[in-house]
Structure formats: C-alpha cells, structure tokens
Structure 1
Amino acid sequence: MNQSNPVTWRTHYALFVLASIYVFNYIDRQLMAILIEPVKLEFGISDTGIGLLSGVTFAVFYTVFGFPLGRLSDRIGRKPVIAFSCIAWSLMTMLCGVAGNFLTLVLARIGVAVGEAGGTAPSVAMVSDLYPANRRSTALAVLMLGSSLGAIVGLGLGGWIAQHHGWRYAFLLIGAPGIFLGLLLLLTVRTPVRSAPLDRADTQEGWLKTLAELFRTPSFLWLVLTGGAAAIAGYAIGTWSPSFLIRSHGLNMQQAGFLVGVVGGTGATVGTLACGMLTDRLARRDAGWQIGVPLLGTLLSIPFALAYFLWPQGTAFHIGDMAVPQAFLFYSGFAFLGVWWATPCLSAITHLFPATRLAQATAIFVMAMTLLGVGIGPLVVGMLSDFFVPNLGSESLRYALASSVSLLGLASVFLMLALPRYRQQIMCPAVAGAGGRVVAV
C-alpha cells in the first residue's frame, strides 16, 4: 500500500478533475457513433467506410502513440502528459466539425486518436499514485465513469445538437470544454508522490526489455487478451447501437441517442460504481475476486446482449412521444453488467507493477482494448452488416451485432485463465515477474 500519500480533499479533487477529463475523452471518442447517419449521408460512404473511420483509423494511431506516451508519463510525470493530451484531442475534435471532405475528417480523427493516446493510461497510473491499494478499485471506478457519462453526454447531447443544429456543431460545441479541463489540471492539481522512485536503470531500460518484463508476469497476458476480446464486443455495440435502434426499431437520431446515451449510460454508470465497490470489498477477503467480479459480470451480460439484438419489434412503453422498444429493456441490463470487466482488470494491473512501469503496463492493456475494440469491433460489424444485406436487408445490422456477442464468451474464458494465476501472484509474490510488484489488497 502506498503510505506516502494520505487521502485528503486534494486527492479527491484531483480524482474529480481526472474523471472530468476522462468523460470528455469518451465524449470526443464516442461522438461519432450518434453522427454516423448524417456523416454517411453528407459524404456518401458505406457502413464499412464508417467502420474504418470510427474504428481502424482511430485505433491504429491510438495504439502507435499509446505506449510511448505511457512511457513518457512514467518518466516525466503523469500530469503534463494528461493535460497537454487533453488540450490536443479537444482541438482535433473541433476540427472535425469544419471538415470539408471525408479525407479531412479522417485526418482530424487521427489527431483525436493521437491526443487521446496520452489520456487513459497516465490517468490510471496517477490514480494509483493517489490512492492506496485497498481503495483503488473504487477510485478507478470513479475515473472509469468517464465511459458511461461520456456516452450520456456524447450520445444524448450530441444527438440533440445534431438533430437541431447539424452534426458539425456537435463536434464544435462538445470539443471546446476539454481545453479548459486540460488547463485546470495543469494549473490546480498537485502531482502526487510516487509509491516507487524512478532510478537510473528505469530511465535507461529499452522498451523491448520493458515489454518482455511486463509479459513475464503470468496473469498479465490473460488480462490484456480479456481487454481486447471484451472491447471488440463493447465498442461494436456502443458504436452501432444508435443505428440499430434507428434501422430496426424506427427511432430517430435524437431518440436513439437519448436511449443509448442517457438510459444506457446511466445503467453503465451505476454498474461501474457497483463493480468497483464490490471488488474492493470482496478482494479484501480473497484476492481472486479481483478477477472473479469481472468474470461474473461478463457471463451474466451475455444473455442480456443477445436478447437486446434478437428481440422482435414491439413497444414496451412511451416516454412522451417516443415509443421505447421492448428490446431496449434488455439493453439496460447489459449496460449495467457489461462494464464489469474494465475497472477491476485495470485495478488488477496496478497491483502487479511498480509506478515506474505502471503507465506502460496500463498502456498495453488500453492499446489492446483500442486496437482490437475500436479498430476491429465497429469495422467487423460494419462489414458483416454489408455482407448480410442481400439476404437480410434492413435487418442486417441486427444479426451482425448479435454475432459480436460471442467475443464476450471468449473474454470470460480469458478471465478464467487469469484468475488462478493472479491469485497465486498476490498470495505468493515470488512468482510475479521480475519487474512486478504485488500489493496487499
């Protein structure tokens, strides 16, 4: 446990600022999901083209820059990397709103990807520096609320702005606040004292040797594979759900953004906090619950996801003039349980590595999530949707999305393989990799 940083109001304030930045990290990343239909219409591109724009193009550049920026934050400090990255991706998001053609939009999205590559891993590492091990899953759950709150604001507000003022204004108005938040972090948050000092050997160690040392930690590979598999399904569902509700259930863009963003995002928010607090409580009794909680949540989420995509048309109830589909009731359950894998897995990584390698280890996990999740998830579903069109017509997206749920089953297998290895590493520190740290939880 890190004894050098007592938890005070400054600790919580730093977490609040980091969580706010992470909200806009996800707003700017996910905004494209609600804007798919008007962007397709204006530039005349296919579902596969949208998958390339929102998936592979973003993921490749995020991955290329993720490890170097994580490595940089392990050396010069988390705060400057996070702050300047936030300012950069916010400016690039605003540039998306003035793109005159599809190529310009692609280049602006590349800029967003490069900026966001410096956000998640250093933020997780900074929270690890701020909070002791036995409170870390809850603290990281607060940070990770960015994904669900980002969906609420990005899809809900983004859909409303696009519906009334056009998709370009959505990029411009939602990108601007990140510039302020980056400056706020830089000027008002104190840098926490690290739990492990940076020595000369750390600064001179090559990145290939660092990677080899990280993967010598037995459970780390399975955690990375879990993140990749679960993210493929998660990003595919998150990216294409608004279009699914528009095409298969007859909603308009604003209604789909409200349901997926506000209702689904609220479920994900509650689920993220619940799994973080539950993990901290259960892991004090048995370290294996650090992996057991995400395994349980992922397994339970699978039937909810399948029911959401395969349930036929039908109205459950009305919210004003909006007919809420019966299928969406299952999405609410999936939103609550489908996020249980991310926070505990990130927290597990913070228990395995010292501060001098933590952002790099986290960056690898996030890179796997991004390259496979953001890169492959939306693209594969888009390609499957195009492939199914001749036989399924307007329902092609429904079955493409249902197919992606199989990846959650694969993620569950990876978690089963990680669980005994992780428990052994925590209970028997000698089995941890040479570069690892094992912290009592």
Structure 2
Amino acid sequence: MSIPSRPTWRTHYALGVLAAIYVFNYIDRLLMAILIEPVKAEFGISDTGIGLLSGVTFAVFYTLFGFPLGRLSDRIGRKTVIGLSCIAWSVMTMFCGLAASFSMLVVARIGVAIGEAGGTAPSMAMVSDLYPPERRSTALSVLMLGSSLGAIFGLGLGGWIAQHYGWRFAFLIIGAPGIFLGLLLMLTVRAPKPAQLVKAADLIQDHWAVTVRQLFQTPSFLWLVLTGGSAAIAGYAIGTWSPSFLIRSHGLSLQDAGLLAGVAGGVGATLGTLTCGMLCDRMVRRDKGWQIGVPLLGTLISIPFALAYFLMPTGTAFYVGSTPVPTAFLFYSVFSFFGTWWATPCLGAISHLFPATRLAQATAIFVMSMTLLGVGVGPLLIGMLSDGFAHSLGNEGLRYALASCVSLLVLASVFLAMALPRYRHYLTQPTLAATPSAKAVTA
C-alpha cells in the first residue's frame, strides 16, 4: 500500500514520537560537552583524554554497529530497532552517572554509542517511509530538531543540574525519560514496513559488501557522504568545546556557558533547521538541484560568522538577567542558524536516491561518516590542538583550535558543489523511475 499524499494524524503522531526520541538521542550524546570541566576535575584527565572519551571511543562503536542495525531495520522494520535502541542508550546514560572511575565512564559511553547506533538512521528512514517525497524535507527537518533541542536541554538543563547537584545527577536525571519513550514508540506507533514493495525482486537482500558498493555507485552519494563527514567534524568540535571556550576565553560560569551554548545556540539551530527544510521543499518544486543548493548556500553563509565568533576579542554586549552575553556570542547565534542547513537537505537527497529496502543502510553510511569523523575526529582534534597551543597561549589555545576547524566547512562546501550537478542530472533522467522509498505498508 502506498503512502497517501496527505499524511494522517497517525503519521504526524509517529513523527512526533520519533522527534521526541531524537531529542533525547542528542541530549544523551551532547550532555558530556557541558560536563567536561567537572569530569576533568574529578578524574584528572587532559583535553586529549576528554576528546578520546567524547569522540573516538563513542564514534568507533557507533560506526561498528550503525550499518548492521540499519540493515536490520531495512529487513524487519524500523519500530522495534528504534524502540529497543532508545531504551538501551538511556539505561547506559544513567550508568554514566554511576561510574566510579574514568574506565567505567568509558565503558558506559560505549554502551550509549551502541544504543544510539540503532536510533538515528532507522528514524530518518522511517520518516521517509511515512511522508511523500514532496513533503519529506520538511518532515525530516522536524525530526532533525532533535539536535538543536537536544543542545538546549542537554547543555542548558545539564549545566544547571551539574551546577546545583553535581555531574553524576545530571546523567541520572536526563537518561531516564528515554526508557519511557522507547516503550511508547513500540506500543502506540503504527510503523511502515519497508520490505513489502510492488516488485518482489526488490525483496532480495544482497550481501552487505555488494550493497555498499552499489550504494556508492549511485551518482552524488559519495559526495554527500564526504559532506556529512567534513561538516560534522566542524559541527561536533564546535558543539563539544563551545561551552569550555566560553568558560576559558570569556570567563563565564558553567551554568551561564550551558545556558548560552544550549538555549541561545539551540534556538538558532532550531529555527535554522525548520527554515532550511521548508525552504528546500519549496525550492525543489522549481529545480531538483535546490536539494543540494540550499545546504550549499547555508554552509557558505555560516563560515564568516563562525570565524567571527572565535576570533572576536573578549567583551560583554549585554546582560540577560545576571548572565553576561559576550559580544562574540552574537555571531554564534547567526552561525547556529545557518550552520545546520547542510544536514536535513542531504538526508532528504539520500531519501530520493534509494528504495525503502536500502534507505536505512544508505542513511546509516551517511550518519556513520558524520559520527566516525565528526564525533570521532572533531572533539579529539580540537583537544589535541588546544593542548598543543596551550604551551604558548594558555587557555586561549582553545580559541585558535576552534577557529582552525572552520576550514572543514569550506571543504564541505566544495563537496556539495561537486554533488549538485550529479544529483540534478540523476534525478532528472527520463528513465529514472519514481523512487520506491515512498511506498510502504503499515503494520
């Protein structure tokens, strides 16, 4: 049965539950960013050690399990994989608050990574199953609000809890709701089945190596994956280290840094995510190439504002209550709006390239590149650069380490420019059949 052109209330309800789960996916993932300073103080580790904990360790295990769990969701359906994964990463987030040593904290974060590997790609594929192509970028932008809302609650609320009750209590409180959301999804949402399509031949599952090769042979997919990896290095590096940058270079408290980076930055990212999704759906009606053109435009605009944020001298623009707002942070607000424009349209582009029986696997590869390079390399790279610059610059070493990572956004723009003509040409071929990813059956 094909998905109706006008989604029902059940469709929107499913999207709402998935979006709530994705919020906690990012809350649990980003919580470590606001807790860097107290965790460092308790366990006596360096910035490089923090980069290994929040970056490489998380990314390696996320990547190892991302493709197999995406492949599993293409076979048995998304709902069960997402629900069980949500429960798993939430439990492991709570275990982080019980860690008696740095080694135990590392093990708990590995558990979070494995759980989250089964949530992201299947959720994005499920949204693509639920909505027709002409409404898909807007629907995906609603799901992708999880990253910005996760920053608001993960950094803002996490910083407040840590300031008043300690970093361990922050893990325990913020990890708990995901258990309820996982159960809610499995018990109340009617999920599409990607395996039942018009052509029986589509049900044949190739060996995973054959599938991966065929995915990368699809025009523009490689460039989209490279875009995700390079942009994510910059994005995760900035997201992870921005609170510490505000503390070290602008003298903010842990609570104030969390509120600014989480709430103010998260609001900009929320508005940016929604704007780019709706703009993309509107512009694509005129020219399919805007599916790539919109993220290219947003990424180019974000670059000068990111540089201004990191290189602007210390100074306070105004106060919000008792919280000082550095002048530099005004540029971060604009950057957070445009800096999110690359993700949602790229995911929408992937949903137009592949059928439902391969969509979660293709999405998993894109997300894996974001995670392995973004989560794995980004925080570690900045930690190493910060430690290196600290010999001559002290606390200001982090400022210039972060400024240097903006060059990765330039590289992402180049990759998007390479993908654009290939994507447009592929989708406008007269012989290209309508993507079967919009066809599914409801359980």
Same fold (TM over 0.5): yes
- Relative to structure 1, the CA distance from residue 408 to residue 183 in structure 2 (aligned partners, 3 Å threshold; closer, same or farther) is same
Instruction: Give per-residue Cα distances to partners, 1:274-322, cap 9 Å, x unaligned.
Output: 0000000000110000000000000000000000000000110011122
Check the 8 A contact 2:197/2:203 in 1, yes or no: no
- Relative to structure 1, the CA distance from residue 359 to residue 252 in structure 2 (aligned partners, 3 Å threshold; closer, same or farther) is same
Residue 261 of structure 1 aligns to a residue in which SS? helix
1:255 partner letter: D
Output the CA distance in 2 between the equivalents of 1:23 and 1:399. 30
Q: Which residue of 2 aligns with 1:425?
A: 426
Following superposition, the deviation at residue 196 of structure 1 comes to: 3.1
Following superposition, the deviation at residue 394 of structure 1 comes to: 1.2
Output the CA distance in 2 between the equivalents of 1:250 and 1:163. 16
Q: Which residue of 2 aligns with 1:33?
A: 33
Percent pairwise identity: 76
Pairs within 5 Å for 1:294-309: 294-309=295-310
Q: Which residue of 1 aligns with 2:75?
A: 75
TM-score of the two chains, using structure 1 as the length reference: 0.96
Output the CA distance in 2 between the equivalents of 1:131 and 1:32. 34
TM-score of the two chains, using structure 2 as the length reference: 0.96
Following superposition, the deviation at residue 269 of structure 1 comes to: 0.2
Check the 8 A contact 1:75/1:198 in 2, yes or no: no
Following superposition, the deviation at residue 391 of structure 1 comes to: 1.1
Following superposition, the deviation at residue 204 of structure 1 comes to: 3.9
Unmatched 5+ residue regions in structure 2? 439-443
Q: Which residue of 2 aligns with 1:288?
A: 289
- Relative to structure 1, the CA distance from residue 361 to residue 22 in structure 2 (aligned partners, 3 Å threshold; closer, same or farther) is same
Q: Which residue of 2 aligns with 1:184?
A: 184
2:156 partner letter: G
Check the 8 A contact 2:289/2:423 in 1, yes or no: yes
Q: Which residue of 1 aligns with 2:350?
A: 349
Check the 8 A contact 1:272/1:343 in 2, yes or no: yes
Output the CA distance in 2 between the equivalents of 1:123 and 1:5. 20
Q: Which residue of 2 aligns with 1:157?
A: 157
Residue 295 of structure 2 aligns to a residue in which SS? helix
Output the CA distance in 1 between the equivalents of 2:35 and 2:242. 12
Output the CA distance in 2 between the equivalents of 1:158 and 1:87. 20
Following superposition, the deviation at residue 198 of structure 1 comes to: 8.2
Pairs within 5 Å for 1:309-324: 309-324=310-325
Following superposition, the deviation at residue 347 of structure 1 comes to: 0.4
2:313 partner letter: P
Q: Which residue of 1 aligns with 2:109?
A: 109
1:27 partner letter: I
Check the 8 A contact 1:310/1:398 in 2, yes or no: yes
Output the CA distance in 1 between the equivalents of 2:289 and 2:143. 23
Instruction: Give per-residue Cα distances to partners, 1:410-434, cap 9 Å, x unaligned.
Output: 00000000000000011016579xx
2:62 pairs with 1:62: yes
Output the CA distance in 2 between the equivalents of 1:71 and 1:316. 50
Aligned positions, number = 437
Check the 8 A contact 1:99/1:105 in 2, yes or no: yes
2:131 partner letter: Y
Following superposition, the deviation at residue 205 of structure 1 comes to: 1.2
Check the 8 A contact 2:129/2:437 in 1, yes or no: no
Q: Which residue of 2 aligns with 1:395?
A: 396
Q: Which residue of 1 aligns with 2:119?
A: 119
Q: Which residue of 2 aligns with 1:224?
A: 225
Output the CA distance in 2 between the equivalents of 1:285 and 1:201. 31
Following superposition, the deviation at residue 202 of structure 1 comes to: 4.1
Output the CA distance in 1 between the equivalents of 2:352 and 2:437. 5
Residue 324 of structure 1 aligns to a residue in which SS? strand
Q: Which residue of 2 aligns with 1:381?
A: 382
Over the residues paired in the alignment, what is the CA RMSD in angstroms? 1.7
Check the 8 A contact 1:301/1:334 in 2, yes or no: yes
Residue 113 of structure 2 aligns to a residue in which SS? helix
Following superposition, the deviation at residue 364 of structure 1 comes to: 0.1
Pairs within 5 Å for 1:238-317: 238-317=239-318
Instruction: Give per-residue Cα distances to partners, 1:168-192, cap 9 Å, x unaligned.
Output: 0000000000000000000000012
Following superposition, the deviation at residue 372 of structure 1 comes to: 0.1
Following superposition, the deviation at residue 224 of structure 1 comes to: 0.2
Output the CA distance in 1 between the equivalents of 2:239 and 2:436. 34
Check the 8 A contact 2:28/2:175 in 1, yes or no: yes
Output the CA distance in 1 between the equivalents of 2:180 and 2:237. 30
- Relative to structure 1, the CA distance from residue 69 to residue 203 in structure 2 (aligned partners, 3 Å threshold; closer, same or farther) is farther
Residue 105 of structure 2 aligns to a residue in which SS? helix
